Amino acid sequence: MMLLKIKFFRYLLTIVRFIFFNFLYKFKFAKFDKKLVKKGTVERNHKSLKSLRDCYSGERSSFFLKNKDKNLNGRQNKKILLVGPRNEGEIFNFIANGFAQKNIDAIDLFSYSKKIRVFDMHNIHKLKKKYDLIYFGFILNYSKNITEVLLRAMLILKAKGFIGISNEYDNIPLMSKDKKKFIYQE
């Protein structure tokens, strides 16, 4: 959909859907191990989501999506897992950047949307599919064991797949499937 390329349209669509689906379905929360998730994670993100101002266009993932890496070629056919999108804005941003909606899965600790499965990223290895790209968008800092999350993610990564990470606070490595290649991105 061409309209999704417009940041304001994605923002508006996400907010309208949030209000509508929150009214119909209410929030659902995943069960999670408090020893693995940093204290206040769900509360902070739930409060931020309800503020109707934070990240509703999915724009935070844009710098990653503008990457000209050959691994992002053939976007229509890539199987994508978005980890921690908080709302549908990030899903819409991936669609706007050429990925097929039918090939995008999303997980988060809570959701109001049927497009986002309520699931703890610490159990990512239990997902049944294999992915070409697993994208962690500003989410890894909520884990007390980032290395374990990334190693578990590699179990559901296709042979030529890759893990993308956007982060605000720490320099977290991007790992290749063979665990020999580390790329750091600010």
d(CA 143, CA 150): 11
Both structure tokens of 90? 């990030």
What pLDDT is recorded for position 68?
A: 61
Torsion over CA: 170, 68, 84, 56 (sign): positive
* Domain range annotation of the chain: 2-58+74-177
Q: Which residues contact 129 (CB under 8 A, 6 or more apart)?
A: 79, 81, 105, 156
CA nearest to 90, candidates 121, 120, 113, 123? 113
Q: What are phi and psi of 38, to 5 degrees?
A: -60, 145
Per-residue pLDDT of the chain (186 residues; tens, 9 = 90+): 689 999 999 989 998 998 888 777 777 777 788 788 888 887 777 677 766 665 678 888 887 888 766 667 788 999 999 999 988 999 999 999 999 999 999 999 888 899 999 999 999 999 999 999 999 988 888 888 888 999 999 999 999 898 988 876 554 445 544 554 444 443
* pTM of this structure: 0.83
What pLDDT is recorded for position 182?
A: 44
- Per the CB < 8 A criterion, the answer to whether 98 and 75 are in contact is yes
Q: Give the CATH number of domain 2-58+74-177.
A: 3.40.50
